[in-house]
Every structure is written in C-alpha cells, then in structure tokens.
C-alpha cells in the first residue's frame, strides 16, 4: 500500500541527498502556492527522518513558514486541512502551540482529518508544557525520550491521556557526531510518523489514534 504523508513545516528541499526526486506539495505562505522550497532546513530534516523509516512513502510538503520558525495557529490548522485535502494518510506536525485559545481551531481541523480518514501525528509538548494540537483527543500526540531507540516507539500515559514516546534524534549525518546534530521533539514526531507510515505500508490498520496505541501495546 502506497502511503502519502503530509509534512506541515518549512517546506522540503528538492534534491537533498536524504530526500531525492521531486518534491510536491503546496505553500500557504508567499505568492507562489507551488513553492515548497525549504529556506530554513527544519522541514527537510523532518522529512529525512520520516523517509529513513518509511522509504516507500510519498511525501506531500505543506509550507506554513516563510524564512524562520514563526507562523500562526491559523496557518498550522490550514496546513492540516491542506494535507487532508490532498489525501494524506498521515499528517506530520512537528510543532505546536501552548495557547489554549486556539483549541477550537485545531479541534475543527482534527475533526475534519478524522472524518476523512487521515491521522494527525503531532508534538504533545516539551519541557513540561502541553501543546496543541498534539494534546487533543484523536491526535497521535508524541513526546521525546532520549533513551528511546530511533527504531522503536512505546506508549505512555500522562494526565489521563495516552501518548507515543519516540527518540528525539534525527536521521544521522555522515561525519557529524550525534551530539552536534539537531535534536528535539520535532524529530520524535518525525520518527513516530515514519515508523507508523512503515506499519501502514505493510498493511497494519491504523485508522485512528486508538488503533495506534493498541498496535504499539501489542508490539511492545
């Protein structure tokens, strides 16, 4: 089964050695909706981690950042909508907000994703702060644990909510020590998305967040 994964981020760099091939998608910022070139690097690193885990997946870039890592909740929610509208099975959102005023906006976007059979995978928080939309019901919320191997996921419970635990380490870069590479919850989300995409591609039925938690509980 061919899996399409939406990467709502800074875009994806065409021709990057960890990406290769054409990069398709849509930009929700700037004047050219087809311009998904990554001017920051974050989205490319996220996409590389996903592809390492799920090399057969097709990525769909949704650019919601311009030239820095600052955007709006409205654009993040619109990014989810755009990925869902383009038939993405998984929507990777490696960022989030702690502003609960945006909860209705994200609830609507997540509800539409669930209704159309897309699964949103998003950061549930970092440094003790909860984030949206990763903390919402129906979302696969992800937290980082540096002790977790990159090829494994596990389930934990925090505040009465189930969450996925993943490694915060990105795809390794030849010649760059791990301690000098990027790291953080962004890549925990990417690793989780990639591993879930691999499972989907192998026929594991993961239509909802509950399916994911049951699957991970079953496989340990």
Residue 81 structure tokens: 């909508």
How far is 21 from 19, CA to CA, in rounded Å?
7
CATH number reported for the structural domain that contains residue 43 in this entry = 3.40.50.200
Give the tens place of pLDDT for each residue, 141-158. 999 999 999 999 999 998
The number of folded domains in the chain is 1
Which domain, by its residues, includes 153?
Answer: 4-219
Residue 16 structure tokens: 């990057």
For residue 189, the 8-state DSSP code is H
The pLDDT value given to residue 59: 95
For the whole model, what pTM was predicted? Answer: 0.93
Give the tens place of pLDDT for each residue, 22-72. 778 999 999 999 999 999 999 999 999 999 999 999 999 999 998 888 899
For residue 209, the 8-state DSSP code is H
């Amino acid at each position: 089964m061919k899996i399409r994964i939406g990467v709502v981020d800074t875009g994806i760099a065409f021709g990057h050695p960890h990406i290769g091939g054409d990069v398709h998608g849509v930009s929700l910022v700037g004047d050219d909706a087809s311009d998904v070139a990554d001017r920051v690097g974050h989205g490319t690193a996220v996409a590389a981690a996903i592809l390492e885990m799920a090399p057969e997946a097709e990525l769909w870039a949704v650019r919601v950042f311009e030239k820095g890592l600052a955007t709006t909740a409205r654009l993040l929610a619109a990014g989810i909508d755009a990925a869902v509208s383009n038939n993405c099975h998984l929507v990777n959102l490696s960022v989030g907000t702690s502003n609960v005023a945006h909860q209705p906006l994200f609830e609507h976007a997540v509800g539409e994703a669930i209704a159309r059979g897309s699964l949103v995978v998003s950061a549930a928080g970092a440094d003790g702060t909860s984030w949206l939309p990763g903390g919402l019901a129906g979302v696969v919320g992800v937290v980082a644990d540096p002790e977790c191997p990159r090829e494994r996921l596990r389930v934990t419970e925090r505040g009465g909510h189930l969450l996925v635990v993943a490694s915060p380490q990105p795809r390794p870069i030849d010649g760059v020590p791990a301690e000098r590479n990027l790291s953080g919850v962004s890549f925990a989300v990417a690793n989780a998305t990639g591993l879930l995409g691999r499972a989907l591609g192998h026929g594991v039925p993961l239509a909802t967040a509950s399916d994911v938690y049951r699957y991970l509980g079953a496989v340990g």
